[in-house]
Amino acid sequence: MKLTETLTDLANPTRFLALTARILPWLAGATAILLAIGLYQSAMAPDDYQQGATVKIMFIHVPNAWLSMFVWSVMSVAALGTLVWRHPLADVAAKAAAPIGAAFTFLALVTGSLWGRPMWGTYWEWDARLTSVLILFLMYLGLMALWRAVEDPSRAARAAAVLTLVGAINIPIIKFSVDWWNTLHQPASVIRMGGSTLDKAFLWPLLVMAIAFSLLFVTLHLAAMRNEILRRRVRNLQMMQANQQAA
């Protein structure tokens, strides 16, 4: 009951703006501190006995890859919010998340490719995990193109919501691609049955970085949502002005 009340409260954009204005500085501060701790710990982490110093790419690559999937999941929930509950902020959330998710996916691809060059001997391999993440990146770009193709935001929102839900099929495929197709990319090693196979010296910095990146996403997302709300207000004011001048 409490949750639905909070969500209904947030449906008022003015209340949302007021609330986020108060919590955004704290979020940004927490993100900066955690990122600093995580980067320091990653720098201090020992070299891997096989991979040497290149293992440190992992501390950037893995959080980016996790978030690339997490952001699409957030957008899928927002898409349900648009289509089922008609929550007024759901499409704002979906629209604001797409470029951020695309950026995380792009970074995951780039860092993975830089890591793959010394380890696998190639920047790119048409492996199942890599291909499915590349498809995710293309779908982020298609979704952004869809948002840009239509002037009326509420119309674009419903179309984008349908596409987001269809694209959500890709998320479990990415997650399990390393188990279904036994190819170059290593299988899951952090979250798995029977405990993590990662050594503690690597696990802690990775977890701190993962939390820091998640907070970074929340901060950027809330800030982008604020921008989007303000942008729509500006648009409405401009339309009103144009109408008045025409009349």
Footprint of other proteins (CB under 8 A): 83, 131, 135, 138-139, 141-142, 145-146, 149-150, 155-156, 158-159, 161-163, 165-167, 169
Query: Which CB, 49 or 126, lies closer to other proteins?
Result: 126
Query: Which CB, 96 or 157, lies closer to other proteins?
Result: 157
Query: Which CB, 58 or 97, lies closer to other proteins?
Result: 97
CB 120 within 8 A of CB 185: no
Query: Which CB, 124 or 204, lies closer to other proteins?
Result: 124
CA distances from 175 to 40, 133, 239 (A): 29, 10, 45
Query: Which CB, 26 or 85, lies closer to other proteins?
Result: 85
* List of residues 6+ apart from 113 with CB closer than 8 A: 123, 124
CB of 109 to other proteins, least distance (A): 14
Per-residue b/e over 18-40, b at no fewer than 16 CB within 10 Å? eebeeeeeebbebbeebbeebbe
CA-to-CA distance for 147 and 91, rounded, in angstroms?
Answer: 10
Burial of residue 84 (number of CB atoms within 10 Å: 0-12, 13-18, 19+): exposed
CB of 139 to other proteins, least distance (A): 5
Cβ atoms within 10 A of the Cβ of 135, count? 14
CB of 61 to other proteins, least distance (A): 22
CB of 221 to other proteins, least distance (A): 23
CB of 116 to other proteins, least distance (A): 20
CB of 220 to other proteins, least distance (A): 24
CB of 155 to other proteins, least distance (A): 7
Query: Which CB, 37 or 150, lies closer to other proteins?
Result: 150
CA-to-CA distance for 220 and 193, rounded, in angstroms?
Answer: 33
CB 221 within 8 A of CB 100: yes
Place of tokens 């984008």: 160
Query: Which CB, 7 or 141, lies closer to other proteins?
Result: 141
Structure tokens at 207: 């977890």
CA-to-CA distance for 151 and 146, rounded, in angstroms?
Answer: 10
